[in-house]
Structure 1
Amino acid sequence: MRALSQKRRHPLAVLSLLLLGLLVTGGLYSIATTVNQAKAETATYSADDVKEGEKLFTANCATCHGMGASGSAAGPSLVGVGAAAVDFQVGTGRMPLQMQGPQAYQKPQQFNAEQTKQLAAYVASLGAGPAIPSAEFLDGKGNATEGGELFRVNCAMCHNAAAAGGALTQGKFAPTLNGVTPQHIYEAMITGPQNMPVFNDANISPEGKRDIITFLKTIEANGSPGGADLGALGPVSEGLFVWIAGLGMVIAFTIWLTSRTS
């Protein structure tokens, strides 16, 4: 009994229990995260997609991102960014980069849908990362009311309450979300492009992202029932319009009045 009691009080016993607890906790968290993300992700790439994607990457992207997408002084590593990041950046024309600046500008796509898929397949093969979302979360049939609340809490401070975009610091900006496809909206939320934070499933669930997309497409379809929205920038644009229009009318009236008296 004395020997057994000494073993229980051995200093390494506490450390062993602590390590075991950390391993169990980390394992359970990893499993839960994987299951949660799997609900909104698809991975349907063949070996040919990866092979062709590597060729496209070497010819068009390796100059900045390095061979094997390991990164360089001109561009970050893409290992582990996932297929969703590639599909968003290439699918919106932001990549390949047009010029160095505060952030990448949207422009016409340089690759077609099949080539974009192949590039995404290659980058996805380099390391685990967010995958392209499945169609069930992109159908626009979520709850627009819930989506509007989530958008105003998490997104409106940058993108404007009407999703019209807005200015940030040092020449950066949050783009308008009008006309952006549901897939690219979802991918932006899970990858955090440019200055945008990442909204993983722990922050906003896949169903919540679906609701946000539904809200955005609802206000896009409704337009501006009150008339000209002046960019939906609020009192700044409205005040500027009133100042310019009002001042212009005063000047025009003054000119007309003085011409009449002469």
Structure 2
Amino acid sequence: MRFLTRRRRSKAAKPLAILMALFAMGLLYSVASPATQSSAETASPEQIARGKAIFEQTCSSCHGLNGEGTSEGPTLIGVGSMAVDFQMGTGRMPMARPEAQAPAKPTDYSAEEIAAVAAYVQAEFGGGPQVPTSDQYSADGMTSEKLARGGELFKTNCSACHNIEGTGGALPNGKYAPSLEKTSDKHIYEAMRTGPQQMPVFAKGTLTDEDTREIIGYLQTLHAQPEQGGLHLGGLGPVGEGFWAWVLGVGGLSLVAVWLAKKGARAR
């Protein structure tokens, strides 16, 4: 006890105690925090080198050799591998020519080539969100309550642009919200997290992974429903139905009125 008392009075006691406390906090944090690995850390040097070769050949003319961006394309610094996976996976990139909005089309790259470019961008330019795993966007086993909640979330956050059934809609300046009917679950998740073009970014603080899974599950259920016959009317509900009722109803009455008028004129 006397030994500890003498040591406690030493000038080095307080700095040593602080260092020990910091060490203990760091040890506790390393144990309690979840282990995470970025796609750049898990990518092999060979994959990154392959991605670099593809990038320099097909992407650098618009985005710059260092990803700094040019007048033909935006910067890739800090965008992360998820944005690359979405843009290349949906065929939006590379663009044949500058347009108001990049349309989705069949991609010219294999999954391995896309993964290589995404790994290179993540490793070289760093930053943003990384390619998601299936448990982040898979809606398998959703209950009816969660699907209903996904419908409410979609109607609140997405339907203003994508339509109540996710069939897309027009936006200002020649742009549009694309249809989600043939978009994969993974690409829906990536679009929500990266906010391509006119789409806002839905960060995890706004919509959690569980929220996005519920929205995806709602869209899966909606698009799997069979057609019940008749005109689809774009899924616009009473607005579209009312429009066609007005056009056909008033138009039909107008034609009948003209026919009756001509018939009366001939009778005279």
| CA distance in 2: counterparts of 1:157 and 1:226, whole angstroms | 26
Match of 1:170 in 2: 173
Question: Are 1:183 and 2:186 matched, yes or no?
Answer: yes
Q: Which runs of 4+ in 1 moved over 6 A?
A: 251-259
Match of 1:22 in 2: none
Match of 2:223 in 1: 220
> Which range moves more in the overlay, 232-241 or 118-127?
232-241
The one-letter code of the counterpart of 1:87 is D
Structure 2 counterpart SS, 1:76: coil
| CA distance in 2: counterparts of 1:35 and 1:232, whole angstroms | 44
Match of 1:135 in 2: 134
Structure 1 counterpart SS, 2:66: helix
Is the CA contact 1:42–1:133 (under 8 Å) kept in the aligned structure 2? Answer: no
State how 1:31-180 maps to structure 2 within 5 Å: 44-126=42-124, 127-141=126-140, 142=142, 143-180=146-183
| CA distance in 1: counterparts of 2:203 and 2:85, whole angstroms | 17
The one-letter code of the counterpart of 1:131 is Q
Q: How many residue pairs get matched?
A: 229
Distance 1:201 1:100, change over 3 A: same
Is the CA contact 2:85–2:118 (under 8 Å) kept in the aligned structure 1? Answer: yes
Structure 1 counterpart SS, 2:193: helix
Is the CA contact 1:42–1:134 (under 8 Å) kept in the aligned structure 2? Answer: no
Deviation at 1:226, TM superposition (A): 7.2
State how 1:2-41 maps to structure 2 within 5 Å: none
1:197-238: CA deviation from partner (whole Å, max 9, x where unpaired): 111111111111111111110111124447432111334533
Is the CA contact 1:164–1:233 (under 8 Å) kept in the aligned structure 2? Answer: no
| CA distance in 2: counterparts of 1:253 and 1:223, whole angstroms | 37
The one-letter code of the counterpart of 1:71 is G
Is the CA contact 2:72–2:98 (under 8 Å) kept in the aligned structure 1? Answer: no
Computing the radius of gyration from Cα coordinates, the structure with the larger value is: 2
Structure 2 counterpart SS, 1:69: coil
| CA distance in 1: counterparts of 2:73 and 2:153, whole angstroms | 33
Q: Percent identity?
A: 42
The one-letter code of the counterpart of 2:120 is Y
Deviation at 1:239, TM superposition (A): 3.9
Q: TM-score, normalised by structure 2?
A: 0.74
Is the CA contact 1:65–1:78 (under 8 Å) kept in the aligned structure 2? Answer: yes
Deviation at 1:252, TM superposition (A): 7.7
Distance 1:59 1:226, change over 3 A: same
Structure 1 portions without partners, runs of 5+: 1-30
> Which range moves more in the overlay, 215-224 or 85-94?
215-224
> Which range moves more in the overlay, 155-164 or 227-236?
227-236
Structure 2 portions without partners, runs of 5+: 1-29
Is the CA contact 1:92–1:107 (under 8 Å) kept in the aligned structure 2? Answer: yes
The one-letter code of the counterpart of 2:131 is I
